[in-house]
Structure 1
Amino acid sequence: MTTISLDSADPTTLSVDAIVIGVVPADSGVRIVAADRVEQSFDSGLAPALAALGATGKAGEVTKLPTLGALPAPVLVACGLGESPDAETLRRAAGAAVRSLAGSARVALGLPASTAEETGAVALGALLGNYSYTRYRTGEQKLPVSEVIVAGAGEHAAAIDRARALAGSVTLVRDLVNTPPADLTPVDFAEIAGKVAEEEGLEIEVLDEKALAEGGYGGLTGVGQGSVNPPRLVRLAYAHPGATKTLVLVGKGITFDTGGLSLKPAEAMDWMKSDMGGAGAVLGALRAIARLAPAVNVVGYMAMAENMPSGTAQRPSDVISIYGGKTVEVLNTDAEGRLVLADALVRAAEDAPDLVVDVATLTGAQLVALGTRTTGVMSNDDETRDKVVAAAGLAGEPAWPMPLPDELRKGLDSAVADIANISGERWGGMLVAGVFLREFVADGLRWAHLDIAGPAFHKGEPYGYTSKGGTGAATRTLVAVAEELAAGTL
């Protein structure tokens, strides 16, 4: 467990393994940009030395320099901050720096952090960048940094506490996404949710396969019927005594997705343990919300199932009845996430929410349209959509507003049921999925849909504070949405 603290002392005087500073581009090479006392501690020869080592000040760049006894710390790390550093730049710089120092015991961060926002950004970036998933590793390996010290004023202690809450929740989601599906079935996932609820004082309700069948949750029952691991619907609730509004979060929790009888190709299946990332984000957000205590009531639904092919699996052309009675012709069993979400979206209306936000690793089309790092945001209200996108930006999670064209609805017409789960057209798949979900949102209810198919799982090398594998995508966005609703700005 990494500890993080504030220290008003000049970190260049501390007995640590490394000191981290920032640099930005300058005419002569680079210019040092650091906490006030840190910046004053270096003479004019440091910037040319860093430039001679190849430092340019470009955002994301990390340059290490031995101090050769000039400082108590043996290593100095200079992080590029780019032309116009902002909170996200600081988060990424702190994350990259701490990750590069794996194996060190104590690290002091002297990045510029004069405000509470900057202090929180540095702390959060450091904690997230220090993440590693070692549950299944054997043998000796480099351990994460055990102690991080942030140079800053003591009055920003609340920003450090907030960073701890957010980082702990994102770490929980990353761990869940990284867990092999054999060790994270819907039953396992529901039990973990129960432990979080107990620790954080959240109300919890778990519907098992019998209760789902009796209650008419045809999406969850249909998707889960091909697996020996039965589905679950988990409802978590956080209540604030001063709340006047209610937010409902809905997450897709497919603990492994083979595509069912509409089987995925092998190369598209090996990372489908991440298909529960939406439900993971809901759980992580509820954990953080319970600790940060915004004045809003928040309910979270986690729709969990395993999508497997077998003699009992649902077939293409089967018709299922979603909770509430609307029927769906299942033309493709690999479009299963929208089916479990439909159950939960209908149920969500029973909580009389002011806003519903669902989050899901829903479509490959999201990656085609927006790539691997940008969440697609859709809504039945353009103003709500744009405010959710803005909240994501403030949280440091890239998002982009997408439309829900009415003409796409016709492609979901079914010859035998109320609606089909896929369109006959191959184009606009992310938007078609959103149009499908909109059919299960109660009239007059504000709703936003986040497609995190790409952002939830990073297959490349780590960057900034983002690790390889599970990223915890949308967790911070959901927390920001709750806070904006509490403040009356969303």
Structure 2
Amino acid sequence: MTALTLSTAAAPGLRADAIVIGVAKGAKGPVVAPGAEALDKAYDGRLAGVLETLGASGGEGEVTKLPAPTGFKAPLVVAVGLGAEPEKDAEYSAEALRKAAGAAARALAGSKKAAFALPLADAADAGAVAEGALLGAYSFDAYKDNAKDAKGNAKGPLGEVALLGGKPRDKAYKAAVERATALTEELNRARDLVNTPPNDLNPEAFAAVAQVAAKEHGIKVQVFDEKALQKGGYGGILGVGAGSAAGPRLVKLSYTHSKAKKHLAFVGKGITYDSGGISLKPAGHNETMKCDMSGAAAVFAAVVAAARLGLEVNVTGWLALAENMPSGSATRPGDVLRMYSGKTVEVLNTDAEGRLVLADALWAASEEKPDAIVDVATLTGAMVLALGNRTFGVMANDDAFRTAIVEAAEEVGEPSWPMPLPEHLRKGMDSPTADLANMGERMGGGLVAGIFLREFVGEGITWAHLDIAGPAFNEQGPFGYTPKGGTGSGVRTLVRLAELTAAGDLG
């Protein structure tokens, strides 16, 4: 785990493996960003020219390494691109700082300590750099037994980050860094869960992780096993888990604050492995299906983060956990399930299983009549086709709430896009034998899934659905502070919603 400190030390005298500075893309070439004044002075004001000679442009995510000048105790300088230079009198955006810090932290993997001299205009900037560095330093090495790579370099994340220009005695700076630390530690725990192989993370194992964390952070936890689910009539969760030797679970996490005036419920899809069930996925589509519990991981992380931050809002997390497997006991296409709400659903495709477990959890969440419910799920390939691999879709039964979520996501650096719930698509889910089917029209499949979920939200409750199927698992190369594999998509948006609600800034 990477440590982080605020430092008032001068860059030349700081003992570290490297000094990280920012470089922006100016109109006439690279521009050295604030924070690197001491280095620029050591280069007689020619640092930008040196970087340009080395091929640096200041483009986003670009990393350029060069030896530190005489008089500096750190041997290496890492110049990281911030993107376009801001307009006059404007500051670098929080997201530009996050991405730059993340790229630098990843480039320094295996180093013991790095000093980050990126531009810090205020405490919020310190929080952004801290967040980016801690997320960028993430690595998942639990299943690797060799400590060094082929070149003999130490593996593992950057050991320590010192934020130069920080103000350790300033309450705002201290609070910003503490928030970043708590948030990123929980987000990285969500990444760990997503990356854990499904033979080690079945529903029971996931529930056990939640129980341990809940005990540590004063969160009330309740785990519904197969018997409790059967007794309660959770037909959706039981139906999806029927084909697996690993039984399903429904986990309820309750964080409460004595001064809370609002109650949020977060619901997460937790399919610890999705084979498609009897409607088996085709070859090439199974290899990453350990990530189908990313929504539950995001909800779990958000509830724990809210508790660690002491937010003045009640937050209940519902983790709908099951493994979707084909077997003699598995749910078949054509079967009818009686859901926890009492409605019946004809299962036309067992690979449309996420909406079935979410339906039961949504109704359970609705019974407590929270002020709002947000569900998070890797729900449909259709949403990936619509929005790509880095943007999640947001649907809601309230336009203002949907807008608030999109704005919160943008604020924290999670790309999202508002999506509609067209009423005409509901008819496609009509069933001759049940109240509705779990499939509808093929076109607009992501919207159809949202309309299905809306059927299981209690009357009068504000609700939103985040389809994170695209950004939840990064199969490409790492970028910014985003690693390959599990990303923790949705965590920061949920936490920001909780913060806004606690502050009274979310209607």
In structure 1, how many angstroms separate the alpha carbons of the residues matched to 2:439 and 2:356?
11
Q: Which residue is equivalent to 2:323?
A: 306
In structure 2, how many angstroms separate the alpha carbons of the residues matched to 1:144 and 1:68?
26
Q: Which residue is equivalent to 1:380?
A: 397
- AA in 2 matched with 1:279: A
Structure 1 position 28, deviation (Å): 4.0
Structure 1 position 12, deviation (Å): 3.0
1:457 equivalent in alignment to 2:473: yes
- AA in 2 matched with 1:17: D
In structure 2, how many angstroms separate the alpha carbons of the residues matched to 1:427 and 1:340?
23
Q: Any idea what SS the aligned residue of 2:451 has?
A: helix
Equivalent of 1:212 in 222, 225, 229: 229
- AA in 2 matched with 1:306: E
- AA in 1 matched with 2:348: L
Change (3 A) 1:27 1:485: closer
Q: Which residue is equivalent to 1:153?
A: 167
Q: Any idea what SS the aligned residue of 2:83 has?
A: coil
In structure 1, how many angstroms separate the alpha carbons of the residues matched to 2:262 and 2:39?
46
Change (3 A) 1:417 1:258: same
Q: Which residue is equivalent to 1:103?
A: 110
Equivalent of 1:402 in 419, 424, 445: 419
Partner deviation per Cα, 1:117-149 (whole Å, 9 max, x = no partner): 110000010011001000111223222111110
Alignment of 1:53-72 (within 5 A): 53-67=54-68, 69-72=70-73
In structure 2, how many angstroms separate the alpha carbons of the residues matched to 1:435 and 1:26?
47
Partner deviation per Cα, 1:450-478 (whole Å, 9 max, x = no partner): 00011110001111110100001101111
Change (3 A) 1:308 1:110: same
- AA in 1 matched with 2:18: A
- In the alignment of these two chains, the number of paired residues is 489
Q: Any idea what SS the aligned residue of 1:275 has?
A: helix
Structure 1 runs, 4 residues or longer, greater than 4 Å off: 36-42
Give the structure-1-normalised TM-score: 0.98
In structure 2, how many angstroms separate the alpha carbons of the residues matched to 1:3 and 1:307?
39
Partner deviation per Cα, 1:54-83 (whole Å, 9 max, x = no partner): 111111111111125442111101111112
Q: Which residue is equivalent to 1:182?
A: 199
Structure 1 position 13, deviation (Å): 2.2
Structure 1 position 486, deviation (Å): 1.4
Structure 1 position 266, deviation (Å): 2.3
Alpha carbons 2:21, 2:36 under 8 Å: kept: no
- AA in 1 matched with 2:496: A
In structure 2, how many angstroms separate the alpha carbons of the residues matched to 1:258 and 1:484?
38
Alignment of 1:59-138 (within 5 A): 59-67=60-68, 69-83=70-84, 84=86, 85-138=92-145
Equivalent of 2:464 in 448, 460, 463: 448
- CA RMSD of superposed structures (Å): 1.2
- AA in 2 matched with 1:186: P
Q: Which residue is equivalent to 2:89?
A: none
Structure 1 position 114, deviation (Å): 2.2
Gap regions ≥5 residues in structure 1? none
In structure 2, how many angstroms separate the alpha carbons of the residues matched to 1:476 and 1:261?
35
1:345 equivalent in alignment to 2:354: no
In structure 1, how many angstroms separate the alpha carbons of the residues matched to 2:422 and 2:443?
12
In structure 1, how many angstroms separate the alpha carbons of the residues matched to 2:283 and 2:301?
30
Alignment of 1:422-437 (within 5 A): 422-423=439-440, 425-437=441-453
In structure 2, how many angstroms separate the alpha carbons of the residues matched to 1:351 and 1:12?
58
In structure 2, how many angstroms separate the alpha carbons of the residues matched to 1:351 and 1:323?
14
In structure 1, how many angstroms separate the alpha carbons of the residues matched to 2:27 and 2:391?
33
Q: Any idea what SS the aligned residue of 1:393 has?
A: helix
Q: Which residue is equivalent to 1:34?
A: 34
Q: Any idea what SS the aligned residue of 1:255 has?
A: strand
Alpha carbons 2:367, 2:458 under 8 Å: kept: no
Structure 1 position 40, deviation (Å): 6.5
Structure 1 position 102, deviation (Å): 1.1
Structure 1 position 41, deviation (Å): 4.4
In structure 2, how many angstroms separate the alpha carbons of the residues matched to 1:27 and 1:428?
43
Change (3 A) 1:37 1:46: closer
1:480 equivalent in alignment to 2:487: no
In structure 2, how many angstroms separate the alpha carbons of the residues matched to 1:37 and 1:52?
19
1:364 equivalent in alignment to 2:381: yes
Partner deviation per Cα, 1:232-264 (whole Å, 9 max, x = no partner): 000000001101110000000000000000000
In structure 2, how many angstroms separate the alpha carbons of the residues matched to 1:192 and 1:406?
40
Alpha carbons 2:11, 2:72 under 8 Å: kept: no
In structure 2, how many angstroms separate the alpha carbons of the residues matched to 1:249 and 1:348?
8
In structure 1, how many angstroms separate the alpha carbons of the residues matched to 2:276 and 2:306?
33
Q: Which residue is equivalent to 2:218?
A: 201
In structure 1, how many angstroms separate the alpha carbons of the residues matched to 2:83 and 2:35?
16
- AA in 2 matched with 1:442: G
In structure 2, how many angstroms separate the alpha carbons of the residues matched to 1:462 and 1:36?
26
Alpha carbons 1:33, 1:39 under 8 Å: kept: no
Q: Which residue is equivalent to 1:280?
A: 297
Structure 1 position 367, deviation (Å): 0.6
Give the structure-2-normalised TM-score: 0.95
In structure 2, how many angstroms separate the alpha carbons of the residues matched to 1:351 and 1:197?
20
In structure 2, how many angstroms separate the alpha carbons of the residues matched to 1:26 and 1:263?
52
Q: Any idea what SS the aligned residue of 1:351 has?
A: coil
In structure 2, how many angstroms separate the alpha carbons of the residues matched to 1:437 and 1:288?
26
- AA in 1 matched with 2:326: P
In structure 2, how many angstroms separate the alpha carbons of the residues matched to 1:487 and 1:3?
29
Partner deviation per Cα, 1:433-454 (whole Å, 9 max, x = no partner): 0000001111110000000011
Gap regions ≥5 residues in structure 2? 87-91, 149-154
In structure 2, how many angstroms separate the alpha carbons of the residues matched to 1:123 and 1:469?
21
In structure 2, how many angstroms separate the alpha carbons of the residues matched to 1:420 and 1:375?
25
Q: Any idea what SS the aligned residue of 1:108 has?
A: strand
In structure 2, how many angstroms separate the alpha carbons of the residues matched to 1:374 and 1:169?
21
Alpha carbons 1:38, 1:110 under 8 Å: kept: no
Q: Any idea what SS the aligned residue of 1:81 has?
A: strand
In structure 2, how many angstroms separate the alpha carbons of the residues matched to 1:120 and 1:403?
34
Structure 1 position 171, deviation (Å): 0.8
In structure 1, how many angstroms separate the alpha carbons of the residues matched to 2:420 and 2:27?
44
- AA in 2 matched with 1:443: E
Partner deviation per Cα, 1:408-432 (whole Å, 9 max, x = no partner): 1001111110010001x21001100
In structure 2, how many angstroms separate the alpha carbons of the residues matched to 1:15 and 1:310?
60
Q: Any idea what SS the aligned residue of 2:272 has?
A: strand
